[in-house]
Chains A and B, each alone.
Chain A
Amino acid sequence: MVQLMKRRKSEEAASGSPDAQPVDSRTSLIGAIPIPPGDPLETVLVSSGGPVELKDLELESETLQALRSAGVELIVPLIGQGELIGALYLGSRLSDQPYSTDDRRLLGNLASQVAPAMRVAQLVHEQQVEAKERERIQQELQVAALIQQTLLPKELPAIPGWHVDAFYRPARAVGGDFYDFISLQDGRLGVVIGDVTDKGVPAALVMATCRSMLRAASQRHDSPSAVLADVNEALVPEIPPAMFVTCLYAIIDTEAGEVVFANAGHNLPYLRHDDGVKELRATGMPLGLMPGMSYDEVRYQMSSGEVMVLTSDGITEAHNVEGEMYGFPRLMDRVSRQPSDDYMCTALIDDLESFTGSELEQEDDITLVVVRRISSAQAAASAFEGSSQVLARFAVASEEGNERLAIERVAAVIGDLGLVTSRLERLKTAVGETVMNAIEHGNDNRPELDVDVEVRSTPTSVSVRISDQGGHRFIPEAERPDIEAKLAGEQTPRGWGLFLIEQMVDEVRSDSDGDSHTVELVMNREGDS
């Protein structure tokens, strides 16, 4: 709201303020006196139809008193669409004469012309404020995503006789899902899956705290229930009000095949065995709610071929366009129908996606951890084949700029593999360009379509597989761009992407199956440049 007030020059001189220096302009901007919503003065001004003299007013209004004290004699309301959007405050005339009818008409006309412009300016300002707020929220979400992605495991555990797989895909609003693998003494493996209530940066910070506490407690205690009880005690005084963490912690004796776990209010794990699937039931309160909690501890002897599936509620509580929930029964059924192989994770995510369809935005983070005890025959075959290990699987939405999320995630995953910096940078550029192509050309910039990324390593190479939904499209061969023709204006300056991809990595493979198109970038781990 704008309030302008014309003060008498003699008053300015009397005030002795620096503003009272002789100046040509006799108009000065004085401290604003806002008219609060609901003040009776507002009603009078809205219905006045023109300038209002304060001496005519008798109202119970503190604003009116303040205006009188400030020497205001006349208020010219600025009305837009029936609302008071501003007001001009005027003191007495310099001539000490009362405001004439002509003065009032002139001011009324001025107000009627200023008001629409004021309204436009206000709307522009409001839009700018909203845009800034949207930008702030977007930045906050990026920070939250970065915290989560930095703290998630950079590679999957490679344990003889076991196959461990994981899938994590954050929702746009970034929930608080996390999972972790912790190496323990005697070759045992700690497996964590958890979910912090709330979203965004607060959830990401609690997730980071909880993850550290779990890692520390897992080194102090051999018992999962003791670990959860310990973390609960540490978390209660730290966690913000109305937040808590559901968490399941399992310790796997990878030699003997025994799994011991405790559960703090998280989804129960499923165990797929030869005769079907069952829940492994252990109960306990979520972490961070109240002190002094104890947790059930359950032991299970996993046989060869059995698969344990840990999930977050982003899977079971996902909805389809009809509003139906995916739910536990469907999950249980899909787990039971999947053979004991390496593709449980992929099969469950595919089933979830076929249920939800591609029209709806993902509601919550989706996290899946699968642990399979390999049959001795498969273990032998796997040992013979060696080598390729999935380090990470994730997806980015098809929105411009998301190639950088993929670059950061891939870089974090392969950071410890010892690629020399120049080769790492080249792979990052190739990943960025390939994901850009997938977003733009494969998925037509449709945000509801994912670009899937899988990072694998072998003892000699790193490969990044990038898949989009454009399997039916013709992919042109990469040609060396003719820079002379581009500089001469004979060719478009664009067309560098495919060329760069081929130049950056040691090998590029591509494959289409009619639905999806996959490009695999291979970088040898040895090499100086």
Chain B
Amino acid sequence: MEDGFQATVTRTEAGTVINMTGTVNRSAKEGLESAYEEATGSQGRVLLDFRDVDYINSTGIAVIVGVLAMARAANREVGAFGLTEHYREVFNITRLADFMTIYDDETAAVTAG
């Protein structure tokens, strides 16, 4: 099991991608929020890349809600890709999916831009 969290920001023509690695729990707050701030240095939407995330718990969902709140306040579109079937279900149940576009994979996310 992978502990710890890392986020790296990559700018693409389709938006700014935040690639997350490891565990999304309360410890991810600082890393994800600073990655989001870095991402908002560019125009356009922010894409959360969950491919390398192996575990998300309720405190991690709270962190994602916090980032979504910042994005809403700034009128910035947020998308996500790389979620497992299970976490897609969790995002649906929690209604996170109502406030961010969930893409099947990176290609779909980038193409949609």
Q: In chain A between 459 and 504, which residues have their CB closer than 8 angstroms to a CB of chain B?
A: 481, 483, 486-489, 492-497, 499-500, 503
> Which of B9-17, B41-49, B51-59, B101-109 sits within the interface?
B51-59
Give the nearest-CB partner of A491 in chain B: B65
Decide yes or no whether B72 CB sits under 8 A from chain A.
yes
Which residue of the partner chain, among B25, B66, B84, contacts A493 with CB atoms under 8 Å? Answer: B66
CA distance A2 to B63 in the complex (A): 44
Decide yes or no whether B94 CB sits under 8 A from chain A.
yes
Q: In chain B between 43 and 87, which residues have their CB closer than 8 angstroms to a CB of chain A?
A: 55, 57-59, 61-63, 65-66, 68-69, 72-73, 84-86
Taking a contact as CB atoms under 8 Å apart, the answer to whether B89 and A422 are in contact is yes
Decide yes or no whether A426 CB sits under 8 A from chain B.
yes
Taking a contact as CB atoms under 8 Å apart, the answer to whether B62 and A496 are in contact is yes
Decide yes or no whether A408 CB sits under 8 A from chain B.
yes
Residues of B within 8 A of A503 (CB): 93
Interface string of A212-229 (1 = CB under 8 A from B): 000000000000000000
| Given known A-B contacts A422-B86, A433-B58, A436-B57, A493 and B93 have beta carbons under 8 A apart | no
Give the nearest-CB partner of B94 in chain A: A496
Decide yes or no whether A425 CB sits under 8 A from chain B.
yes
Decide yes or no whether A195 CB sits under 8 A from chain B.
no
| Given known A-B contacts A422-B85, A483-B99, A500 and B69 have beta carbons under 8 A apart | no
Interface core residue of A426, A488, A494 (most chain B CB under 10 Å): A494
Interface string of A1-31 (1 = CB under 8 A from B): 0000000000000000000000000000000
Give the nearest-CB partner of A498 in chain B: B58
Q: In chain A between 121 and 142, which residues have their CB closer than 8 angstroms to a CB of chain B?
A: 142
Taking a contact as CB atoms under 8 Å apart, the answer to whether A425 and B66 are in contact is no
Residues of A within 8 A of B3 (CB): 401
CA distance A493 to B25 in the complex (A): 13
| Given known A-B contacts A493-B63, A500-B58, A425 and B86 have beta carbons under 8 A apart | yes
Decide yes or no whether A429 CB sits under 8 A from chain B.
yes
Give the nearest-CB partner of B59 in chain A: A494
CA distance A142 to B72 in the complex (A): 40
Bin chain B's interface residue count.
Answer: 20 to 34
Taking a contact as CB atoms under 8 Å apart, the answer to whether B57 and A403 are in contact is yes
Taking a contact as CB atoms under 8 Å apart, the answer to whether B85 and A436 are in contact is no
Residues of A within 8 A of B66 (CB): 493
Decide yes or no whether A188 CB sits under 8 A from chain B.
no
Decide yes or no whether B90 CB sits under 8 A from chain A.
yes
CA distance A426 to B84 in the complex (A): 12
Residues of B within 8 A of A488 (CB): 69, 72
Decide yes or no whether A273 CB sits under 8 A from chain B.
no
Using a Cβ–Cβ cut-off of 8 Å, how many residues does chain A contribute to the interface with B?
Answer: 28
Decide yes or no whether B110 CB sits under 8 A from chain A.
no
Residues of B within 8 A of A425 (CB): 84-86
In whole Å, how far is A442's beta carbon from the nearest beta carbon of chain B? 16
Taking a contact as CB atoms under 8 Å apart, the answer to whether A429 and B90 are in contact is yes
Residues of B within 8 A of A436 (CB): 57-59
Taking a contact as CB atoms under 8 Å apart, the answer to whether B89 and A433 are in contact is no
Residues of B within 8 A of A433 (CB): 57-58
Which residue of the partner chain, among A486, A487, A497, contacts B58 with CB atoms under 8 Å? Answer: A497
In whole Å, how far is B11's beta carbon from the nearest beta carbon of chain A? 25
CA distance A494 to B84 in the complex (A): 22
Give the nearest-CB partner of B63 in chain A: A493
CA distance A432 to B90 in the complex (A): 14
| Given known A-B contacts A422-B86, A429-B86, A481-B94, A486 and B57 have beta carbons under 8 A apart | no
Residues of A within 8 A of B68 (CB): 487
Taking a contact as CB atoms under 8 Å apart, the answer to whether B69 and A493 are in contact is yes
Residues of B within 8 A of A278 (CB): none
In whole Å, how far is B65's beta carbon from the nearest beta carbon of chain A? 4
Residues of B within 8 A of A494 (CB): 58-59, 62
Residues of A within 8 A of B84 (CB): 425
CA distance A323 to B50 in the complex (A): 51
Taking a contact as CB atoms under 8 Å apart, the answer to whether B62 and A487 are in contact is no
Taking a contact as CB atoms under 8 Å apart, the answer to whether B65 and A487 are in contact is yes
In whole Å, how far is B10's beta carbon from the nearest beta carbon of chain A? 26
Give the nearest-CB partner of B25 in chain A: A401
| Given known A-B contacts A408-B1, A426-B86, A429-B90, A483 and B57 have beta carbons under 8 A apart | no
CA distance A404 to B59 in the complex (A): 14
| Given known A-B contacts A422-B89, A487-B68, A503-B93, A496 and B61 have beta carbons under 8 A apart | yes
Residues of A within 8 A of B1 (CB): 142, 404, 408
In whole Å, how far is A386's beta carbon from the nearest beta carbon of chain B? 32
Which residue of the partner chain, among A486, A487, A492, A500, contacts B93 with CB atoms under 8 Å? Answer: A500
Taking a contact as CB atoms under 8 Å apart, the answer to whether B65 and A486 are in contact is yes
CA distance A483 to B72 in the complex (A): 12
CA distance A422 to B89 in the complex (A): 9
Residues of A within 8 A of B89 (CB): 422, 426
CA distance A429 to B59 in the complex (A): 12
**20 A-B residue pairs with CB within 8 Å:** A401-B3, A425-B85, A426-B86, A433-B58, A481-B94, A483-B94, A483-B95, A486-B65, A486-B69, A487-B65, A487-B68, A487-B69, A487-B72, A487-B99, A493-B63, A493-B65, A493-B66, A500-B93, A500-B94, A503-B93
Beyond the given A425-B85, A436-B58, A494-B58, could you list 20 further A-B residue pairs with CB under 8 A, ordered by the A residue number? Answer: A408-B1, A422-B89, A425-B84, A429-B86, A436-B57, A481-B94, A483-B65, A483-B94, A483-B95, A483-B98, A487-B65, A487-B69, A487-B99, A488-B72, A493-B66, A494-B62, A496-B58, A496-B94, A497-B58, A500-B61
Task: Give the top 7 A-B pairs by smallest Cβ distance, nearest first.
Answer: A425-B86, A496-B58, A493-B65, A493-B62, A497-B58, A494-B62, A493-B66
